[in-house]
Amino acid sequence: MSNANHAPIPELYVSYESAQKLKVEAGELPSWDLTQRQVCDLELLMNGGFHPLKGFMTEADYDGVLDDMRLASGALWPMPINLDVSEAFAEKVEPGQDIALRDAEGVILAILSVTDKWVPDKAREAVAVFGADDLAHPSVNYLHHTAGKVYLGGPVTGIQPPVHYDFRGRRDTPNELRAFFRKLGWRRVVAFQTRNPLHRAHQELTFRAAREAQANLLIHPVVGMTKPGDVDHFTRVRCYEAVLDKYPQSTTHLSLLNLAMRMGGPREALWHAIIRKNHGITHFIVGRDHAGPGKNSAGEDFYGPYDAQEMVLKHQEEIGIEVVPFKHMVYVQERAQYFPVDEVPEGTTVLNISGTELRRRLREGLEIPEWFSFPEVVEELRRTSPPRAQQGFTVFFTGLSGSGKSTIANALMVKLMEMGGRPVTLLDGDVVRKHLSSELGFSKEHRDINIRRIGYVASEITKNGGIALCAPIAPYSATRRSVREMIEAYGAFVEVHVATSLEECERRDRKGLYKLAREGKIKEFTGISDPYEAPGTPELRVDTEGMDVDTCAHQVVLKLEQMGLIAG
């Protein structure tokens, strides 16, 4: 079992000549613009990374995967791989039809011969695959709020792989890796999956794993999609490259995997093992909390720390890959060495810096000791994450019409400009509706588009080191949450609920709109004839009823100071 089979794995690509012909023919077909996740899935379908899948799943495969992790053929497969599309697109497509699959630039990558079309029960999928229909799980949230309502399934004919402009030399298909191992005579290869920069604990773990398995080492990080909020892959790859010379050159290889992770814990670990098997690997490291999604909405872990290990161990023979299980690695001060947590010598001092603590130290520009990470890695991380007081951020005011959002935001803007250092942009509700969203009304759909536009602009400002102040009503929590995710990829998101009561807003009625709304002359008016979902846990709630504008704005300044976003 533990020696590699380096024969090529089947791919779904047609020959170069056929691809040229198909590309022309496919121009006539209905075409679907793939999402970022779908491009990742398609690449691994086409290059054999998802073998034995031959396309996006049919309904029978999907049901089998949900119920007992098996395709209709009986093969083990734990993760649904679906082409989710909008209802509008699904209406135009019937089983028996071919559709062209295009990347974001319109390039045709493949043809899907549709055999199945169905509307999935997403709550059932969430429970079966992720263990709970809980929106705190990033993939459950994606499933409900980003994925299309209809699934299409059927075989895929590959025309060309997605183009990558970054780190081209570090990306390998399963067959390229197999050929590389064959060429070097690597019969035993242990793979390390990661979505984090490599610190000393990881290096120690990979050294030990390679020793234990008497195998060569493949560092196989995911660069497709990882958990929202992770260190971006450009920074991570620079970090990996910075420490590569600390590994024995002749027995170590770094290769990037364009996988879209689902953070599905045990099922995901099994999926990772199958993907690694397809890449010609013989041994797979599964550590603590593999592909863990963090806490659920009750504040508890979704999965037990070693559930993923158990799951892969149970199926390792069937997959044909050997698990190298690892306990959490910790640093023992007296020995100046890392140990698995269950092998720490008695009476010694254990040092540990959690991911959260590391982020805090980076944010605040504090020391990160050499026992924890390599100076080269820390330097790269500091380049990407300067201390918070030098980063961009967004303050997002939400509240009823007339609650005082704009007035407080204006006062805050002036205070921030007085301090200087970073450019400040105010995206006020009314101003945005004039300049960005003039064609939109107040239906749920239009409000969502409006808020997403604001979120997009704010995320660009944040990314480029500026301060964005937003002041729309933003009545829906799900939309505010997705804006938060967009922005937190680049900097802090500070939600401020301007909690003026409806009675008070109506009493003030500064624009005379409440009167018109009560008379039915304005439809879908927030608070009167349209909902407002108040934030449950905003960073700050301000009460304008007992406080003047200056004090409210000052409260925000204090909050920003407390969060380290402005120097105290």
Q: Which of residues 171 and 508 has its CB atom nearest to ligand PPS in the complex?
A: 508
- In the block, tokens 């592909």 appear at 291
Looking at beta carbons only, is 392 or 402 nearer to ligand PPS? 402
| CB 166, min distance to ligand PPS, A | 36
Classified as helix, coil or strand, 174 is helix
Cβ closest to ligand PPS, residue 295 vs residue 510:
510
Say if residue 255 is exposed, middle or buried (CB neighbours under 10 Å; 0-12, 13-18, 19+): middle
End-to-end Cα distance, the chain: 60
Q: Distance between CA 5 and CA 163 in Å, rounded? A: 28
Residue closer to ligand PPS, measured from CB, 353 or 436: 436
Closest CB to ligand PPS: residue number: 429
Beta bridge partners of 471: 428
Instruction: Round to whole Å and give the CA distance between 79 and 271.
Output: 7
Question: Between residues 295 and 521, which has the closer beta carbon with respect to ligand PPS?
Answer: 521
Q: What are 97's two structure tokens?
A: 């039809």
Active site residues: 194-196
What is the rounded CA–CA span in Å between residue 340 and residue 329? 4
In the complex, the smallest distance separating the C-beta of residue 7 from ligand PPS, rounded to whole angstroms, is: 57
User: Could you say which DSSP state residue 423 is in?
Assistant: -
Shortest distance (Å) from residue 207 CB to ligand PPS: 53
CB of 473 to ligand PPS, least distance (A): 4
CB of 138 to ligand PPS, least distance (A): 25
Burial label, 71 (beta-carbon count in 10 A; 0-12, 13-18, 19+): middle
What values do phi and psi take at 359, rounded to 5?
A: -60, -40
- SS3 at position 52: coil
Residues, the chain, total?
568
**Could you tell me where the beta strands, DSSP code E, fall in 96-197?**
98-102, 108-113, 116-118, 150-158, 189-194
> What is the residue type of 44?
L
What's the closest the beta carbon of residue 470 comes to ligand PPS, in angstroms?
9
Contact residues toward ligand PPS (CB under 6 A) are 401-402, 406, 429-430, 433, 442, 447, 450-451, 472-475, 511, 513, 522, 524-526, 530
Smaller CB distance to ligand PPS: residue 160 or 526? 526
